[in-house]
């Protein structure tokens, strides 16, 4: 089931450039322990984004990489320390809040869009990704303003997210001792993510991105509300 979800969400991201990672991280709390959510999501998204980048490598704008890479490494160090002191049981609640804010709060998105430097985009996208997992929209707003075509935006965003997830690998393995016992599951999810990137790249021109975006936005909102409700009920109990 998780391998299929990884395939479908990766295909969604390949078609419209976002949404797949957020949808996957919203679903993971239903299937795995809280301590495994961020590591499994990060590694699966690394496979999804890197394969999506390779399938459209001619569209990648490599000149933007150095600044983003420096910011990513700094963000990994700073937020990695914060994550090591954060209770993993609270992550689903934090993820739900982030999803709802990013989908429905213009003020939240306007605040994020103020970070026009690729140093800061790398810092925030990689750093916050350690805590909330899916942060791809942070760079999409800036890329969509500066690049010429949607294909360039999707391919370059995939490069940025690949760097973000790659930079976080040492943190994943240092904070989750359970990950080693889940290697068969992880491998299946990686294969699913790569297959989804290939499939989405092949069929991207056959779908209406606007319609898919609305469906994903509504589905994500329902899942995020469920996560918030579960968190509230858990604390009340």
CA dihedral 131, 135, 138, 140 (to 10 degrees): 170
The domain limits of the chain are: 2-236
Q: Token pair of 153, please?
A: 């935006």
What does pTM read for this prediction?
Answer: 0.73
CA dihedral 39, 135, 129, 205 (to 10 degrees): 30
- Segment 6-49, tens digit of pLDDT: 999 999 888 877 778 888 988 998 898 887 887 888 889 899 99
Dihedral pair phi/psi, residue 98, rounded to 5°: -60, -45
Highest mean pLDDT, choosing among 11-15, 49-53, 89-93: 49-53
Query: DSSP H helical segments within 56-90, as ranges?
Result: 65-83
- Segment 121-177, tens digit of pLDDT: 888 888 877 776 567 767 776 787 778 777 788 889 899 989 888 877 776 666 656
pLDDT at 115 over 60: no
135 with 125: CB under 8 angstroms? Answer: yes
Dihedral pair phi/psi, residue 17, rounded to 5°: 90, -10
């Amino acid at each position: 089931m998780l391998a299929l979800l990884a395939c479908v969400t990766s295909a969604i991201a390949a078609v419209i450039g976002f949404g797949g990672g957020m949808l996957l991280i919203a679903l993971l709390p239903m299937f795995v322990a809280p301590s495994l959510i961020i590591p499994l999501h990060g590694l699966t998204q690394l496979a999804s984004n890197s394969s999506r980048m390779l399938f459209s490598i001619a569209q990648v704008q490599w000149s933007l990489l150095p600044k983003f890479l420096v910011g990513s490494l700094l963000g990994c160090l700073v937020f990695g320390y914060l994550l090591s002191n954060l209770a993993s049981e609270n992550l689903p609640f934090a993820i739900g809040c982030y999803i709802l804010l990013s989908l429905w709060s213009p003020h939240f998105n306007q605040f994020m869009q103020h970070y026009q430097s690729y140093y800061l985009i790398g810092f925030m996208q990689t750093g916050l990704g350690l805590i909330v997992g899916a942060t791809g929209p942070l760079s999409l707003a800036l890329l969509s303003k500066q690049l010429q075509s949607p294909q360039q935006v999707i391919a370059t965003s995939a490069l940025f997210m690949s760097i973000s997830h790659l930079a976080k690998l040492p943190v994943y393995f240092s904070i989750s001792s359970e990950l080693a016992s889940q290697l068969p599951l992880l491998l299946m999810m990686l294969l699913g993510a790569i297959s989804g990137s290939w499939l989405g790249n092949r069929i991207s021109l056959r779908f209406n991105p606007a319609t898919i975006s609305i469906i994903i936005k509504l589905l994500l909102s329902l899942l995020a509300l469920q996560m918030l409700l579960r968190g509230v009920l858990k604390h009340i109990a």
